[in-house]
Amino acid sequence: MSGPSSYEPKTAFERWLDVRLPIIRMANDTALDFPTPKNLNYWWTFGGILAVCLVIQIASGVVLAMHYVPNAGLAFDSVEHIMRDVKHGWMIRFIHANGASMFFLAVYIHMARGLYYGSYKAPREVLWILGCVIYLLMMATAFMGYVLPWGQMSYYGAVVITNLFSAFDGVIPGLGTYITTLLWGGFSVDNPTLNRFFSLHYLLPFMIAGVVGLHIWALHVPGNNNPTGVDVKSKSDTVPFHPYYTVKDGFAIVLFFIPFAWFVFFAPEALGHADNYVKANPLATPAHIVPEWYFLPFYAILRSIPDKLMGVLAMFGAIAMLFAVPWLDRSPVRSMRYRPTARWFFAIFIVATIILGWCGGQLPDDVILPIGKSETGAPTGFTVVWLSRILAAYYFAYFGILWFLKNEKTLPVPETISAPVLAEKV
């Protein structure tokens, strides 16, 4: 797919620049004339949506950083200053806060598409791993950004999550305490912690942008996967990226930004928590500490295990499993379009992950299915924590199931990309 260049300079300036800095040639070959499978559906547009989301987050974040004060005594007031006194500050902050949620929504859809259509299979393993690295960096960036408003939920979110690292004392004595103290910059979550998190929150998006560049580079070597999972056989299987997919991606971006705009202008706090409008108070712990919605499945896995160290390992293991998928799935067929058994297990995996997210937002002892009553009259029965354990077990089992589906009975796979495309027109 990364064949010879088709660019021909047309003006004297283009010829002069092309010899010294072939940036126009690179743009033409990678973003305009790049041969792309002709059968990509709208699930592939989320790559472009994610690129736009990243630009919006960096641009809005830079503006917010101009007015934010990373000081434990002033941070909360500086956010209120942005909201009330800075011209259009309220809008910039809501774009940035809701943009994080839209970013994660798009990346989850993007990852689910990759899992369904086998975009992690050879020769795209590095492409998938770089995507997982981007996801990890996004999680770190989002967590640190959530701490910056220095509200009640921000402060106690930092306390809970950073304290998790102390569990590693059970692996190497003193290791967890060292990591926790390093993150805090002292012996508790305080001003040094806020300064460190602000610095890293500002730095990591530019690291994400760098890895995104590698991600796109890794994409352009083997080329795009496609819904059939069949490799490109000839030029008849492809179309130029422009204008076919620039128009398609542009249309999808506009549609995606309609709900984005709705959240910003009509429900800006719908995805947040009311406690974050209360200034951080180390002496008043919130009744229910809840992370942002995009962390909830992993939070549910963490809470489902009573042992702290095992819970932390399970939480990080849930993310680490994604890195191993290219080697766990041994089926010779890429796309689950032709793998009916794998498709059912994948559907259950998606549902299990969504319900895990719901569990993460509930109290672990909440009763889902009442069976009886305790001596105090409170209902007893099947609780959220038990549901979380069952779903967490399936989450990890799914990756083992992929290993054993190597010899599943698959549907006939077309020989070329064009075959099913042309068949639909008959």
For the stretch 264-282, pLDDT in tens is 999 999 998 888 999 999 9
For the stretch 87-99, pLDDT in tens is 999 999 999 999 9
For the stretch 322-345, pLDDT in tens is 999 999 999 999 999 999 999 999
Q: Give the model's pLDDT for residue 377.
A: 67
CATH number at residue 341: 1.20.810.10
Judgement on whether residues 25 and 38 belong to the same structural domain of the protein = no
Contacts of 353 (CB under 8 A, 6+ apart): 297, 391, 395
Judgement on whether residues 1 and 85 belong to the same structural domain of the protein = no
Judgement on whether residues 122 and 21 belong to the same structural domain of the protein = no
Residue 425 has pLDDT above 80, yes or no: no
Judgement on whether residues 29 and 46 belong to the same structural domain of the protein = no
Indicate the number of domains in the chain.
2
Question: Across all residues in the chain, what is the average pLDDT?
Answer: 93
Judgement on whether residues 354 and 418 belong to the same structural domain of the protein = yes
Q: Give the model's pLDDT for residue 370.
A: 82
Q: How confident is the model at residue 47 (pLDDT cuts 50, 70, 90)?
A: very high
Judgement on whether residues 14 and 68 belong to the same structural domain of the protein = no
Judgement on whether residues 102 and 140 belong to the same structural domain of the protein = yes
This model's pTM is above 0.75: yes
For the stretch 126-176, pLDDT in tens is 999 999 999 999 999 999 999 999 999 999 999 999 999 999 998 999 999
Q: How confident is the model at residue 426 (pLDDT cuts 50, 70, 90)?
A: very low
Judgement on whether residues 335 and 296 belong to the same structural domain of the protein = yes
- Percent of the chain beyond pLDDT 90? 85
Judgement on whether residues 126 and 144 belong to the same structural domain of the protein = yes
Judgement on whether residues 52 and 2 belong to the same structural domain of the protein = no
Judgement on whether residues 209 and 316 belong to the same structural domain of the protein = yes
Residue 424 has pLDDT above 60, yes or no: no
Residue 251 has pLDDT above 60, yes or no: yes
Q: How confident is the model at residue 1 (pLDDT cuts 50, 70, 90)?
A: very low
For the stretch 61-120, pLDDT in tens is 999 999 999 999 999 999 999 999 999 999 999 999 999 999 999 999 999 999 999 999
Judgement on whether residues 171 and 247 belong to the same structural domain of the protein = yes
Q: Whole domain around residue 273: which residue ranges? A: 34-425
